[in-house]
Amino acid sequence: MNIIEILKLIFEESGFAGLIEDPRYLIMILFACFLLYLGIHKKYEPLLMIPIAFGVLLANLPRTGLTDGLIHYLSLGVEYGIYPSLVFLGTGAMTDFGPLIANPSSLLMGAGAQFGIFTAFLMALVLGFDPKVAAAIGVIGGADGPTAILTASKLAMEYLPAIAIAAYSYMALIPMIQPPLMRLVTTETERKTVMKQTRTVTKTERIVFPIAVTIFVVLLIPDTAPLVGMLMFGNLLKETGLTDRLSDTAQNALTNIVIIFLGISVGAKAVASTFITVRTIEIVVLGLIAFSFSTVGGLLIGKIMYKVTGGKVNPLIGSAGVSAVPMAARVSQMEGQKANPNNYLLMHAMGPNVAGVIGSAVAAGFMLKIFGA
Amino acid sequence: MSAGRALIIAVSGFLIVFLMLCLLWFIIVLINKVTDSIGAKTAKEEPVKAETSTVEVPAETGTQEAVYGGEIALYDVDEKTAACLMAIVSDETKIPLNQLIFKSIKALD
């Protein structure tokens, strides 16, 4: 065997030869680099976008065998719905439900902002998607990454990467997607509404809330248990004040570890053969529609509450019901201040914002109940 | 799936989300009422205890006007200074603020 033959053998067994064999891998590598650019340079949800993008990159380097080894085992956490639930545990430990407890009527805006889930579900059916896949696509409208991933992992595994990437991309694009809709749906007078400071929430209420929500919601829709149960458990760890170490672990170490595994696993599902299809583009478009309808749904409920309360509720906080915490609430704050510099809506918007998290978990639980069997 | 069935699923799903969150609204109000009534009961019992156990309090309050900020009695101390003091005590003692209970803060001459 001469040196030329050795070099030829090395090349033939390299990933480069694999790229020549199937150029779709090259497209996926470029796509992974684009996602990395969005995550690193544009700072679009970098904590998840970067692991997902790197997962896409690793899975599309031919002949590594990673998808049968390391990534296969990491992916079990997605397939069994473990990672999204653990992310919810961390989210619960980080979430302050105080604004929601102080102003429980904001739950209605959180419910209204799930409108996009059901609209996108119907549109996906019109486009010919299988009902299970349509349900998973609709959940993108909840603007909640872990919920979208959990639903997709149970109902539409083959579309999981497209759904996850669409969900996180739109969550990152909230400051661009929502403001035009907010200005379109609300009037100048409504946007200028200054809201009164909410009441103080006692520690007892904060402790009882997660326990009561878990009992009632999970008893009524048992399929919400992985999400609502973990969310409320995390919140209880935070609110008791007696389990600071556990709360700290849930908020930081555990969440960070799970996000790494989740991101890599989801990204690695985006292999060229299943990802480069027209269906992926349709999912991305449907995700945007779902997101927009959810925003409008929350705003419309906000407008109704503005009328009913005689102008005491600023409808801009309704758009925060899409649950991307706390980005959507910040957008409400920014738009409110543009209309009236003395407007401080952030804490008021946190109510619908965290209500949206519960609302999207309930909507996902409903979809799993109907289509999961 | 027929269009009618799809529509029924979408509408009923949306309604269930609404009903569930309305139920949570009710639960939150209920929790608030219960904790308020328990708090009111405790508040009724506390003045009786104060009368029997503290004798010097009336003399002090007679000379210094007490300002109540939440559950803490502030004597000649504004809320901003009180907040700073509480943060310092929490930091020095390494006890999180949510585990510390301040009953009163009084300015000394």
- A221 contact residues in B (CB cutoff 8 A): 16, 20
- B39 contact residues in A (CB cutoff 8 A): 202
Residue A194 exposed, middle or buried by CB count within 10 Å (0-12, 13-18, 19+) = middle
Q: Is the dihedral of CA B101, B103, B107, B108 positive or negative?
A: negative
- B25 contact residues in A (CB cutoff 8 A): 104-105, 107-108
pLDDT given for residue A79 in this prediction = 84
The pLDDT tens digits of the residues spanning A81-135 come to 899 999 999 999 999 999 999 999 999 999 999 999 999 999 999 999 999 999 9
> Which residue among A115, A200, A221 places its CB closest to the CB of B14?
A115
> Which residue among A101, A202, A217 places its CB closest to the CB of B20?
A217
Lowest-pLDDT range of A126-130, A310-314, A364-368, B41-45: B41-45
pLDDT given for residue A326 in this prediction = 83
Q: Name the residue in chain B with its Cα closest to that of A200.
A: B70
Rounded to a whole number of angstroms, the CA Rg of chain B reads 25
Domain assignment present for residue A48? The answer is no
Q: Mapping DSSP to helix (H, G, I), strand (E, B) and coil, where does residue B106 land? A: strand
What's the total number of domains in chain A?
Answer: 1
The pLDDT tens digits of the residues spanning A171-230 come to 878 888 899 999 999 999 999 999 988 888 888 999 999 999 999 989 988 888 888 999
Domain assignment present for residue A230? The answer is yes
Domain assignment present for residue A132? The answer is yes
Distance CA A312, CA A83 (A): 40
Query: Tokens in use for A155?
Result: 């109902």
- A207 contact residues in B (CB cutoff 8 A): none
CB-CB under 8 Å, B99 with A208? no
pLDDT above 70 for B65 = no
A367 interface with B at CB cutoff 8 Å: yes
A140 interface with B at CB cutoff 8 Å: no
Domain assignment present for residue A56? The answer is no
Give the domain range for residue A317: 82-255+276-371
Domain assignment present for residue A9? The answer is no
Domain assignment present for residue A247? The answer is yes
CB-CB under 8 Å, A221 with B38? no
B14 interface with A at CB cutoff 8 Å: yes
B75: β partners: B66, B106
Domain assignment present for residue A27? The answer is no
- B14 contact residues in A (CB cutoff 8 A): 114-115, 117-118
Domain assignment present for residue A12? The answer is no
Scanning the structure block, which residue is given the tokens 């101390």? B77
Domain positions in chain B: 1-53, 58-109
Q: ipTM more than 0.95?
A: no
Distance CA A174, CA A180 (A): 11
